[in-house]
Amino acid sequence: MKIKIYYEDTDAGGVVYHTNYLKYCERARSELFFSRGLMPLGEDGSGFVVRSLKCDFLTPARLGDVLEVTTEISDTKRVSIRLKQSIYRCDIKIFEMDITLVFVKNSKPSKIPQKFLKIFDTL
Amino acid sequence: MKIKIYYEDTDAGGVVYHTNYLKYCERARSELFFSRGLMPLGEDGSGFVVRSLKCDFLTPARLGDVLEVTTEISDTKRVSIRLKQSIYRCDIKIFEMDITLVFVKNSKPSKIPQKFLKIFDTL
Amino acid sequence: MKIKIYYEDTDAGGVVYHTNYLKYCERARSELFFSRGLMPLGEDGSGFVVRSLKCDFLTPARLGDVLEVTTEISDTKRVSIRLKQSIYRCDIKIFEMDITLVFVKNSKPSKIPQKFLKIFDTL
Amino acid sequence: MKIKIYYEDTDAGGVVYHTNYLKYCERARSELFFSRGLMPLGEDGSGFVVRSLKCDFLTPARLGDVLEVTTEISDTKRVSIRLKQSIYRCDIKIFEMDITLVFVKNSKPSKIPQKFLKIFDTL
């Protein structure tokens, strides 16, 4: 998934505001669902929520840069998954994240539906 | 209502990203509700939505600035209200907006509840 | 220019937060520069700033929607331009904006460089 | 430092969008500088950048919530510091983060100035 850096993404330091890298990774996760005709949010309010994450900011991105986000599955459990997402600019890794998502229904952890598991199996 | 300018508010031009002035005005509108123990969003999904706005960016704000937002009522109708909001930095007006909000219930314009009208009467 | 709606774009009302439509228009303006190998921001800190705008929110966008932004030139002056930008979802106009941008150098209005005028001539 | 949750902070899931907790922590860090009459960004482009972080999202915040951010120093080195930041709602911890910041000058890690070290000594 490609991301273009616009003004809205930068801050007064002239580079991308740090939390935006996390947004780009979320866009890439949502795109996994959209590209299969699915919505990441269920009608009944169920969906994945971020439980924890760990990330490294390797080098900053700037206005006009084109970035690419990759997503790999690290682990799948009954109610949660762990992903490794990386952001590249021209084949140079500039950001790396390990993220754990929990599937939640009625505000409680719940078994990940089969149709979602299938998505992650292909990563 | 006071607003402090943080990194997240600025862009690569070193000043506040233009849409953020509109956010500060929305915070001030929400605060009108919160300060009276009300939520701007009803349990049934009813609430005010922005229908139109017109604004002037008079002078830019920068990192660390403290801004003040004022809100005046311009007009009240059955299903909509028109507000005039201004943003000041040390008594100098830096932004001005005329905004029309429509009260919506089940995705349709609906009569503004009495408890909300009371709020605007005090402006 | 196409825009996909992600979680980050929506608010608790379930629809796109109102200032985000203005962001999508800014992305489309920046893309005019990028697509010609230019940056919207000069090395010397010169660039276009938003002076005023007027917009109508016709119908809300939701998670997963794909929007299209169009940009037309309304007027070109020595130091400023006026654009009309519209956002469509499947050929239905959902947002419309008239925006005036001023070219600024050393914090002062300045003559728009020829290379930028050429861009707007093609709209 | 107190944070009020507005519409702009929430997403279609009805709760605070995950990256916003990181923004609140950044506001609290900036406030450490502002409250001492300092800017977090030097005239010469020097300043702290985020190098890495690790965080846990314990329970979600919602529209109208009032949150409190606390900041403690974990470690101080020549060019970097490590902080522990927590977010509370009514004495219940809802978010926790370990973050490492590097002081950068001319895009290179650089010795943290004495005036900044003094700030962290008081935490």
CA pair distance C38, C116, nearest whole angstrom: 9
**Per-residue pLDDT tens over the stretch B50-70:** 999 999 999 999 999 999 999
Residue A11: the pLDDT is: 86
Distance from CA of D89 to the nearest CA of B (A): 16
**Per-residue pLDDT tens over the stretch D5-46:** 998 998 887 889 999 999 999 999 999 988 888 887 777 778
**Per-residue pLDDT tens over the stretch A94-117:** 999 999 999 999 889 999 999 899
Domain extent at residue D51: 2-121
- Best CA proximity match to A17, nearest among D87, D19, D112: D19
User: Which residues of chain C have a CB within 8 Å of the CB of D62?
Assistant: 12
Say if residue B121 is exposed, middle or buried (CB neighbours under 10 Å; 0-12, 13-18, 19+): exposed
Better-scored residue on pLDDT, B22 or C1: B22
Least CA distance to B15: which residue of chain A?
A: A12
Cβ contact D41:B63 at 8 Å? yes
Letter for the amino acid at A30? S
Sign, CA torsion B100/B106/B107/B109 = negative
How many structural domains are present in chain D? Answer: 1
> Residue ranges of chain A with pLDDT lower than 50?
none
CA pair distance C99, C54, nearest whole angstrom: 7
- Best CA proximity match to B18, nearest among B48, B72, B57, B64: B57
CA pair distance B34, D65, nearest whole angstrom: 10
Substitution target from C4, C5, C6, C8 for chain D, most D beta carbons within 10 A: C8
B14 touches chain A (CB under 8 A): yes
**Per-residue pLDDT tens over the stretch B79-112:** 999 999 999 999 999 999 999 999 999 889 999 9
B4 touches chain D (CB under 8 A): yes
Residue C22 — φ and ψ, nearest 5°?
-70, -35
CA pair distance A86, A97, nearest whole angstrom: 6
- Strand bridging mode B47-57 / C47-57: antiparallel
User: Which residues of chain D have a CB within 8 Å of the CB of B26?
Assistant: 6-8
Write the CB contacts of A103 (distance below 8 Å, at least 6 apart in sequence): A46, A47, A48, A79, A80, A109, A110, A111, A112, A113, A116
Residue A107: the pLDDT is: 85
Structure tokens at C117: 């005028």
A34 touches chain C (CB under 8 A): yes
Letter for the amino acid at D58? L
Q: Say what the pTM is.
A: 0.88
How sure is the predictor about B120, in pLDDT bands with cuts at 50, 70 and 90?
confident
Write the CB contacts of A20 (distance below 8 Å, at least 6 apart in sequence): A9, D19
Distance from CA of D123 to the nearest CA of A (A): 23
- Best CA proximity match to A102, nearest among A77, A75, A79, A74: A79
D35 touches chain A (CB under 8 A): no
Look up the CATH number of the domain holding residue A26: 3.10.129.10
Structure tokens at B106: 């089940």
